[in-house]
Amino acid sequence: MDQLRPDQVAGLREIYGLFDFSGAGRMDSRALGAVLRTVGVDVSESELSALIAQLSVGSSAGDASIDQEEFIHLMASVMADADPEEEADSSFQAFDVDADGRVGAEDLRVAAASLGIELDAAACAEMLEEVAAKPERGASREEFCAAALQG
């Protein structure tokens, strides 16, 4: 975690909170897989199970989940190995659900829903206002990636 800036740690804590579906302070393999796939890390269920077993060394036997600090530690190593442009492009592809070359409001809603996050039309419109020159048309690959790289 030493290599992460405070704003990155805060962002990871926020992401963790979104994916701690039970609110119990534990993230299960399904949620961890969704997060990793969103940032372009292709991981199988067996790899996820092994990763969680490795990370949650101090947890009780049979606990197939990780806590927030374990998640941040994992994501720090993922981020250290990542190529930012490649990650942004991979994220664009994941969010361009209809593969039309733009991320629109419906793309955002569907992609978020696949991750267990419910976004309403107003939230999607607000996100697009932030990144797209013509929000009603959605964000182009360039706009989306530029916003992703800004952090």
The contacts of residue 115 (CB under 8 Å, 6+ apart) are: 19, 34, 35, 38
The answer to pTM > 0.75 is: no
Q: Angle at the Cα of 123 (from 71 to 30), degrees rounded to 5?
A: 30
Write out the CATH class of domain 6-82: mainly alpha
At 60 the pLDDT is 57
Main-chain dihedrals φ then ψ at residue 102, nearest 5 degrees = -140, 150
Q: Is the pLDDT of residue 1 over 80?
A: no
CATH superfamily of 85-150: EF-hand (1.10.238.10)
**Weakest-pLDDT range from 23-32, 76-85, 109-118:** 76-85
Q: Angle at the Cα of 50 (from 48 to 55), degrees rounded to 5?
A: 90
The distance from CA 132 to its chain's CA centroid, rounded to whole angstroms, is: 20
Which amino acid, 74? Answer: L
At 59 the pLDDT is 57
At 81 the pLDDT is 72
Q: Angle at the Cα of 43 (from 103 to 109), degrees rounded to 5?
A: 25
Contact assessment for residue 109 and residue 54, using Cβ atoms and an 8 Å cutoff: no
Domain residue ranges of the chain, discontinuous segments joined by +: 6-82, 85-150
**With bands split at pLDDT 50, 70 and 90, how would you rate the model's confidence at 40?**
confident
At 64 the pLDDT is 79
In this predicted model, what pLDDT tens digit does every residue of 56-110 receive, in sequence order? 765 555 567 899 999 999 888 887 777 788 888 888 998 999 999 999 999 999 9
Nearest Cα residue to 69 out of 4, 131, 138: 4
Q: Is 103 helix (H, G, I), strand (E, B) or coil?
A: strand
| Fold agreement between 6-82 and 85-150 | yes
Average pLDDT over residues 43-63: 76
